[in-house]
Structure 1
Amino acid sequence: MLKLYTKARVLWATKDQGATAVEYGLIVALIAAVIVATVLLLGQEIEQAFNTVYDKVKS
């Protein structure tokens, strides 16, 4: 009986760790999606700002 309980505890602990890895993966994917969306939405404004600074420094 104790052996069965021990195996069940090990299996339960393994499942928790796998779920945690999946959750971290989802968080990383969400952060990456936010970064991509921000770059796509603000990319041209940022490029114009850098070009303006470049032109002022150049002259």
Structure 2
Amino acid sequence: MLKKWKENKLVSEWNAFWRQEEGVGVIEVVLILVVLIGLVIIFKTQITKLLENIFKEIESQSKEVY
């Protein structure tokens, strides 16, 4: 019961905050997403290589466990 009340309170406070900014928050979120997407596009090859190395390391260490 208390958990449900806290969730409702959190949702209502979030909604109040979101409305209070009158659209400025939406613009900020969109700009952050644009920057993040741009960074991913710019560094795509480096990110791919990094993730491949991480997964290779995970795979090699998981073989040691089994």
Q: TM-score, normalised by structure 1?
A: 0.52
Q: Give the structure 2 partner of residue 29 of structure 1.
A: 30
1:52 maps to a residue whose letter is: N
Count of equivalent residues = 42
Gapped regions of structure 1 (runs ≥ 5): 1-17
CA deviation after TM superposition for structure 1 residue 49, in Å: 1.6
Question: How far off its partner does 1:39 sit?
Answer: 0.7
Q: Rg: which structure is higher?
A: 1
Q: Which has the higher contact order (CA 8 A, sep 6+)?
A: 2
Unaligned 5+ segments in structure 2 are 1-18, 61-66
Aligned Cα root-mean-square deviation (Å): 2.4
Report the equivalent of 1:48: 49
Q: Give every structure 1 segment of 4 or more consecutive aligned residues whose post-TM-superposition deviation is greater than 3 Å.
A: 53-59
Please state which structure has a larger fraction of its residues in helix: 1
> What does the per-residue CA deviation read over 1:23-49, in whole Å, with 9 as the maximum and x for residues that have no partner?
111101111101100111112101112
Identity of aligned residues (%): 17
The TM-score with structure 2 as length reference comes to: 0.48
